[in-house]
Each structure stands twice: as C-alpha cells, then as structure tokens.
Amino acid sequence: MNVTAQLPLNTMPLPLRLRVEDYLALDRIGAFEDYAKTELIGGEIFFMNAQHRRHASTKMKLYDALRDALGPLNSRLVALVEASIEIPDHSVPEPDIVLTSEPEGEGLVPLASVALVAEIADTSLAQDLGRKAVLYAQAGIAEYWVVDINDRVIHQLWSPQGEDYAGRRVIAFGQSVTAETIDGLAVETARI
C-alpha cells in the first residue's frame, strides 16, 4: 500500500476554522458592518445584536466599580470596555470588560497581558458559561466573571484547567466579589 492510500478521508464535511488574520481581513472589507459586535471563537464567527440599556448600564457600573477598586491598589492592570483579545490561532473574543496590563499599543489586546475578563449575560448566559468559559480556560485566562443580570448573580471562575475552571462560586448581587487571583481587588456588587 502506498503512502497516499493511508491519508484519512473526511466522512463528514469539515468546516475550516478561520484564523485571527482571516477574521481581521473580513473586518477590513466591511463584512461585519451590519452587526453591533462580532467575535471569532474557535474559528467560527458569532455576531451579537445591539446591547440594550440594562446590559450596557450593568457593564458600565461594573467597569466603574473595577476602576475605583484598582485605583488605590496602584495596580498595573487597567479595565477596558469591549476590547478584542487575540487568542492564537483561532479566537478573537471581545469581552464586555477585560483587565489588561497593556492597555496602550496597536492592535488587539495580547493574551499574556490579560488578568481577568468579565461578561454581562442576558440572552447569552449559556454561551458565556459554555463556549466562552471553555475558550478562556483553554487560553489560561486566570479569572472569569459572568454577570447574570436575569438571576442577579455573578459566576466567579478561576484556576483554569484544560477546558474548564477548577474554582467557581456564585455570588448574589448585593454581596461583594473578591478576586481570587488579583491581590486586594474586591468589588461591591450593591453598586451594580
């Protein structure tokens, strides 16, 4: 039997996973103009619709709370709202909030600079606790918060291991959230 006869054949259609550069090329030609927001997740592009006020105002309140909490810590981390992160080779998520040590500079936020990401979930809860959690855990992002505005709780996840986070707790709105991986960072959720 020759070598070529041993190559595996597709039995099902095999979608090609788009790379970061493919996604950016599509963005440059205006492919995503009709959408409020898109993300590349594991080589697939997802779009999100326009944000409603409840989502947007929760996001800004959490941003303000994080910014106020980081200030006195003299932390090198800066909170950014909706900045895209490059997770090589097939993902460019745009979390609602990211804490990065490299807020300046060109292009996408480098993965190595990311200490924590937070997503505000209304209709996207299943994706945020599912596909997104897998992505962030696999990328080794140290801590991940999912703010569920329907059930008024925060899912706090840390210690990424493989496809999941080993540490997790659920905190009701009104209690304070203490970061597991950033010394001294605590946020009063009464404010959100």
Q: Which is nearer to other proteins, 46 or 173 (CB)?
A: 46
CA-based radius of gyration for the chain: 18
Shortest distance in whole angstroms from residue 76 CB to other proteins: 32
Nearer to other proteins among residue 29 and residue 74 (C-beta): 29
CB of 94 to other proteins, least distance (A): 11
Q: What is the DSSP string of 46-75?
A: EEE-PPPHHHHHHHHHHHHHHHHHHGGGT-
> 69 vs 155, which CB is nearer to other proteins?
155
Angstrom distances, CA of residue 121 to CA of 32, 85, 112, 155:
22, 19, 25, 10
Q: How far is the CB of 134 from other proteins (least distance, A)?
A: 15
Query: Which residues are at the interface with other proteins (CB under 8 A)?
Result: 4-5, 7, 9-16, 18-19, 21-22, 25-26, 29, 31-32, 35, 38-39, 44-49, 52-53, 122-124, 126-127
Alpha carbons 135 and 92: distance in angstroms, whole number? 10
Residue with smaller CB distance to other proteins, 60 or 125: 125
The C-alpha atoms of residue 77 and residue 67 are separated, in whole angstroms, by: 9
Cis before residue 122, ω within 30 degrees of 0?
no
Contact 20, 86 (CB under 8 A): yes
Smallest separation (angstroms) from other proteins to the CB of 12: 6
**Distance in angstroms (rounded) separating the CA atoms of residues 79 and 112:** 15
Q: By C-beta, is 18 or 135 nearer to other proteins?
A: 18
Least CB distance to other proteins at residue 107 (A):
18
